[in-house]
Chains A and B, each alone.
Chain A
Amino acid sequence: MKKVLQIALGILAAIGGFVDIGDLVFNVEAGAQFGYQLLWVVVVGVVGIIVYSEMCGRVAAVSKRAVFDAIRERLGFGVGFGALVSSQLVNLMTLAAEVGGVALVLQLLSGLPYRALIVLAILALAFVIWVSPFEWIERIFGYGGLALLVFAVGAIKLHPDWGSVGHGLVPHLSSSDHLVYAYFAVGLLGAAMTPYEVYFYSSGVVEEGWTPKDLGLNRANVMIGYGLGGFLSFALMITAGALFLPLGVEPQFIGTVALGAQVPLGTIGLILALVGILFAVGGAAIDTCFSGAYNLAQYFGWEWGKYRRPSGAPRFTIAWAILLVLALLIIMTGIDPVMLTEYAVIFSVVALPLTYIPILLVANDRSYMGRYANGRLANAFGLLYLVVILVVAVSAIPLMIITNQGQG
């Protein structure tokens, strides 16, 4: 019974934690531009993050080493340092965007000035991190993020053409604007497979003291959690396709996303959407912040983890605090969080191979993994997604430039 409860709780936390500002922005923009045509890309992305996270979780449960341990070990000090620097930069951009997103939602809920809310958001996040044990951080934000299910209800109420929705689930090329279509495909994959999610997940596995006995839990967690999280992405894209596309609305604001629930469901839809976005993005901010600190600590061999308590892992603690301060400074410059999100997602896609390949190697290493190394199925998917990731990584920046960030 305890096991079932543990699985359920973990899954709930994962669903709420799946959607971050990158998913919100790209799924809604893709829906507003291409209707339901890109739904199949969401499926590809969800399967990808499941494959990737399962490997990272398994490696962490068996070896007690998280992603960045593997990166330094497989790529060496030099290339590993390059991976560290690039992942820190992308992480910081993402963190700043998430914090900005939190401030924007707080503004839409309260009417208070944006800049003051940025400071409030940072202080609130720091307080929650300091005071809550690791599992509770995940639970709070995961459950709060469940409010995003309102978009699923709203999407149904908008009466989309379900035939077109079904057609969108089948991989196909667009009827027009092929380059913009490709850009959004890349962006959706990037938003679904953001690296910080696996840094955080693998470190979290160590934080929660998982062992090889928990590998079944690992698989259930990632499949159902990310799968249902993908369901939320569907809801966002279908909402945008049913509501925004016919009116020619080009989403540029977080408020536009919330409007997608307000129109079909009224005030209660709006409030639930805003609360859901607040918790999902806020939780993502904490995940991103911790990921930056985990990466530094794992690369340099410092003690790390919330479970060690701040005085047990002082450099790790100082690292996440400094990252919050840096994010504060970045978002205070007035940079648009939505635009920053788009850049962060694209750049994280470019860096993805550097973090994926070491994990694929480690997961196959029997001296590391013993009998828990990748089997044929895991390797089949692992290699398939290696190809997907390489193609996407190489084409991301050219597409972004040629299509002027999807504006054509």
Chain B
Amino acid sequence: MPLRAWICLVLLVLPASACGGGGTLSTKAFQTQAESLQSLAAEGALVADGSADGRTTETFVSVHTEYLGKAAKKVETKLAGAQASGELEEKRKRAMRLAGRVAGELGQLHRAPGDRALADRLASDLRDEADAAEKLAE
């Protein structure tokens, strides 16, 4: 293809791809993010339970909560970059803050995988947050 055609193609594609990141949030898309958040928080609670009871290895807790935390951060970023209207906007803001809290708690577990008291506290926090995310997803 001639050079001009390539340039036109790039100029068309670039703005389109830039728009892809944000934009309006549909109910379906929000539901997916909220369910994902519930999943990450629930799984984090399971990992924290294991740590609190001393029934797991610190390495596993540290590595796995890092992956979970990164995923929670991605949910937060996705929700932050989108816009909704009316009731959905309210939910979006709550979910975004929830995701931030979940990511933060998972980060704490990642940094202190041997702290059983901390893990015990965070396990019940994460379970509450999973319930909250589930309610938001409905």
Touch test A–B (CB under 8 Å): yes
Q: Which residues of A contact B (CB under 8 A)?
A: 107-111, 243, 247-250, 252-253, 255-256, 258-259, 262-263, 266-267, 270-271, 274, 407
In B33-71, the 8 Å CB interface with A consists of 35-36, 38-39, 42-43, 46-47, 49-50, 53-57, 59-60, 62-64, 67-68, 71
A selection of 19 A-B contacts at a CB cut-off of 8 Å is: A110-B59, A111-B59, A111-B62, A243-B46, A247-B130, A248-B38, A249-B43, A252-B39, A253-B64, A255-B60, A255-B64, A259-B43, A263-B50, A266-B50, A267-B56, A270-B56, A270-B60, A271-B57, A274-B60
Asked if A266 contacts B56 (CB within 8 A), the reply is: yes
Asked if A262 contacts B50 (CB within 8 A), the reply is: yes
Asked if B39 contacts A249 (CB within 8 A), the reply is: yes
Asked if A262 contacts B39 (CB within 8 A), the reply is: no
Asked if B35 contacts A248 (CB within 8 A), the reply is: yes
Asked if A109 contacts B39 (CB within 8 A), the reply is: no
B89 on the interface (CB 8 Å rule)?
A: no
Asked if A108 contacts B36 (CB within 8 A), the reply is: no
- Interface residue tally of chain B, by bracket? 20 to 34
With both chains docked as a complex, state the minimum distance between the C-beta of B65 and any C-beta of chain A, in angstroms: 9
With both chains docked as a complex, state the minimum distance between the C-beta of A138 and any C-beta of chain B, in angstroms: 29
* Residue of A262, A266, A270, A274 with most partner-chain B CB within 10 A: A262
Asked if B55 contacts A267 (CB within 8 A), the reply is: yes
A135 and B96 alpha carbons, distance in the complex (Å): 54
Q: Choose among B55, B62, B134 the residue that contacts A248 (Cβ–Cβ < 8 A).
A: B134
In B103-127, the 8 Å CB interface with A consists of none
Asked if A111 contacts B63 (CB within 8 A), the reply is: yes
Q: Contacts A108-B59, A250-B36, A267-B57 given; indicate if A259 touches B64 (C-beta within 8 A).
A: yes
A266 and B71 alpha carbons, distance in the complex (Å): 25
Could you list 9 further interchain pairs (A-B, Cβ under 8 angstroms) beyond the known A111-B63, A267-B56?
A: A109-B59, A111-B59, A111-B62, A250-B36, A255-B60, A258-B60, A259-B47, A259-B64, A271-B57
A267 and B38 alpha carbons, distance in the complex (Å): 25
| A-side contacts of B39, CB under 8 Å | 248-250, 252
| A-side contacts of B62, CB under 8 Å | 111
Q: Choose among A243, A253, A266 the residue that contacts B55 (Cβ–Cβ < 8 A).
A: A266
* Residue of B32, B50, B53 with most partner-chain A CB within 10 A: B50
Rank and list the top 9 A-B pairs by shortest CB-CB distance, nearest first: A266-B55, A255-B64, A250-B39, A247-B42, A111-B59, A249-B43, A248-B38, A249-B39, A249-B42
Closest A residue to B28 using CB positions: A408
A110 and B57 alpha carbons, distance in the complex (Å): 10
A256 and B63 alpha carbons, distance in the complex (Å): 12
Asked if B35 contacts A249 (CB within 8 A), the reply is: no
Closest A residue to B113 using CB positions: A111
Asked if B56 contacts A407 (CB within 8 A), the reply is: no
Asked if B38 contacts A259 (CB within 8 A), the reply is: no
* Residue of B59, B63, B68 with most partner-chain A CB within 10 A: B63
Q: Contacts A262-B60, A270-B57 given; indicate if A250 touches B35 (C-beta within 8 A).
A: yes
